[in-house]
Structures are given as structure tokens and as C-alpha cells.
Amino acid sequence: MPLSILQISDLHAEPKGVLAYGAADTASRTKEIRPWLRSMSEKVDLIVVTGDIACDGNPEAYEIVRRTLEGLAAPVAVLPGNHDRRSTMRRLLGPFIAPHTWSEERLDFDMDLGGARVFGLDTLVPGSHTGALPAETLARLEREIDRDPRPALILMHHTPAHSGMPKMDEPFGGREAFLRIAAKRPNIRVATGHMHRAIASVTHGVLITTAPSVALGIELDFGEEGGDAFRLAPPGYALHRLLDSGEWATHFGAMPIPDTFAGPYRFKGVVNPHED
Ligand SMILES: [Fe+2]
Ligand SMILES: [Fe+2]
């Protein structure tokens, strides 16, 4: 049976009246995507928010996100990014924390959607811009992949794919082990965030996509500083469609909300929060 999974990413929500990195009104953006999200939620089976939900783990920002995500027609699952705090997410985004988490502290999940399995992996390393998957999570993922041959979509914030933009291409803890597991079958797809651009890359035989941001479009730049600046751009999304054939097709798009394309602006004052 065909399935559609909507992925949105990198909202970088700030409290009302605070501009993210001095330039982007992400509180307003988080509010203004609500009508589009409501209408799309009627057409998809699941919505996954792949991290950098708040810009610095601020509770007021999560409240704004909660109001955008509540009351949608499809279930919603959230994953943390390097700008998030797990404890604050648990407290304020409780209804969107998938129930089948693999551990008390972390926010990994797996879901059975009938025709496919969906895994959400928590790559957050508090206080760090880079991500990692610990050995226990990788072992659990491998067991789940080995016992069930159905198509699988693995979602997470950080990406093992490289973009060619030097400031965005960083180490990813557990990269080789993860890619070995994801390469086990051709019906496994990996969908990530963090790059703020729509990118597809085959890495060690695994097709990895990265979703565009809801708020900040990273400037295309392959020079030395590439990846360190953004523009105000319309909100993007990725939609992963499982076809009757068991293959995945990923559609990238922009929500019909105009923006000025002002910029580029530097990412100044970046915060990768520690836990409280
Ligand atoms: Fe981000
Ligand atoms: Fe990120």
C-alpha cells in the first residue's frame, strides 16, 4: 500500500520578537506554515520534524512549535538536532515524542506503518554542532533491519552525507557502521536535515537525502566558507512516497509562502545547548 511521509526540518524557532541570528523571524515563520501543514496533514500518513526545532532550546520557542503541530490530521514525530534540548522537548512537545522510544534519555523511535517501517534516530550530542549514533543505537537498528525485510525509511537530523560545502561537512560519529547497516537492502532510504538544502547523495551505496529548512536557506557556496551563510527563503519540505513497487520516491518542494531572499547573513552567535 502506498504511503506518504512528510518531512520538515530546521525550524530554528525563536521566541516571539527575537530574530534568529539577528535576521530571520522564525517565530512568525513557524506560525505561518500552519495552514499549509494542516492541509498537507490530510494527505500524508506521518509527519516527522527532523531537528533544529528551536534555535537554542528555548522553552518559549517550543511552545510556538507545539501550537503549529497540534491538531494536525496525521501523527507527528519530532527528533532533536544540535540546537535542541531533549529534556525541554520531552516537557513541551510530549504528544509528538513517539511512544516507542528505545531508551529513557534518547528520542530514537521506530514505527510500523504497515507497508514500511520508519526509524527516527537521535543524533544529538549536547553542546556539539556535530552528531553521532552510539553503539547501542546502531546495534538496535541492525537487529530491527535484519529481522524485517520491509522497506524502511530512516530519519535523523545530522547527515552522514557530504555536501561539498566545507563548513557543513563535519564528522558524524558511527558513520561507517551506520552506512554498513543502511546498505543492507536497496529498499532502505535515509532522510536527514541539518544542511538546510535539498541534496541527494549516494554514500557508500546508500541514498541519503537532506531536507530544506523551514526558515533559513543555506547559501550555495563551494568556497572555503561555504555553508556558513543563509538567506531568507520560502519554507521547504521533503515528501517520501513509498510506491506500490516497494521503492521510495522523494519529492522536494517549497510551501507557498513568499520570502525576500535577503542575505546572505552569517550564522553569528550559534548556540548548541547543553542539557539543563
Ligand atoms: Fe539547522
Ligand atoms: Fe543542525
> What does the block give as the cell for 233?
527563503
Distance from the CA of 60 to the center of ligand 2, in angstroms?
A: 19
Cα 147 to chain centroid distance, Å, stands at 26
Distance from the CA of 193 to the center of ligand 2, in angstroms?
A: 7
Which domains, and CATH codes, for the chain?
A: 3-266 (3.60.21.10)
Among the bound ligands, the one closest to the CA of 8: 1
Distance in angstroms (rounded) separating the CA atoms of residues 162 and 208:
10
3-state secondary structure of 209: strand
Distance from the CA of 246 to the center of ligand 2, in angstroms?
A: 30
3-state secondary structure of 167: coil
pLDDT of 104 reads 85
The DSSP letter of residue 13 is B
C-alpha dihedral sign at 138, 102, 69, 123 = negative
pLDDT in tens, 141-187: 999 999 999 999 999 999 999 999 999 999 999 999 999 999 999 99
pTM above 0.85, yes or no: yes
Could you tell me the CA-to-CA distances from 208 to 106, 157, 178, 255 in Å, in that order? 23, 12, 12, 22
**Beta-carbon neighbours within 5 Å of ion ligand 1:** 10, 52
4: enclosing H helix or E strand: strand 3-8
Would you report the helix, strand and coil content of the chain in percent, each value rounded to 5?
Answer: 20, 30, 50
Distance from the CA of 43 to the center of ligand 1, in angstroms?
A: 26
Among the bound ligands, the one closest to the CA of 11: 1
> What does the block give as the cell for 230?
543563509
Among the bound ligands, the one closest to the CA of 20: 1
Beta strands in 66-198 (DSSP E): 76-79, 109-112, 117-121, 131-132, 152-156, 172-173, 188-192
pLDDT of 103 reads 87
Distance from the CA of 129 to the center of ligand 1, in angstroms?
A: 10
Residue whose C-alpha is closest to residue 61's, from 41, 39, 85: 85
Among the bound ligands, the one closest to the CA of 216: 1
Residue whose C-alpha is closest to residue 4's, from 244, 258, 205, 212: 244
Q: What is the mean pLDDT of the chain?
A: 96
pLDDT in tens, 57-112: 999 999 999 999 999 999 999 999 999 999 999 999 999 999 877 888 899 999 99
Res. 275: pLDDT tops 90: no
Residue whose C-alpha is closest to residue 270's, from 233, 230, 221: 230
> What does the block give as the cell for 138?
546502531
Distance from the CA of 129 to the center of ligand 2, in angstroms?
A: 7
Amino acid at 104: E
- Please compute the mean of the pLDDT values over residues 15-24 and round it to a whole number: 97
- Please compute the mean of the pLDDT values over residues 33-61 and round it to a whole number: 98
Distance from the CA of 202 to the center of ligand 2, in angstroms?
A: 20
Distance in angstroms (rounded) separating the CA atoms of residues 18 and 169:
28
Query: Percent of the chain scored above 70 by pLDDT?
Result: 100
Among the bound ligands, the one closest to the CA of 12: 1
CB atoms closer than 10 angstroms to residue 128:
15
- Please compute the mean of the pLDDT values over residues 129-141 and round it to a whole number: 97
Distance from the CA of 269 to the center of ligand 2, in angstroms?
A: 14
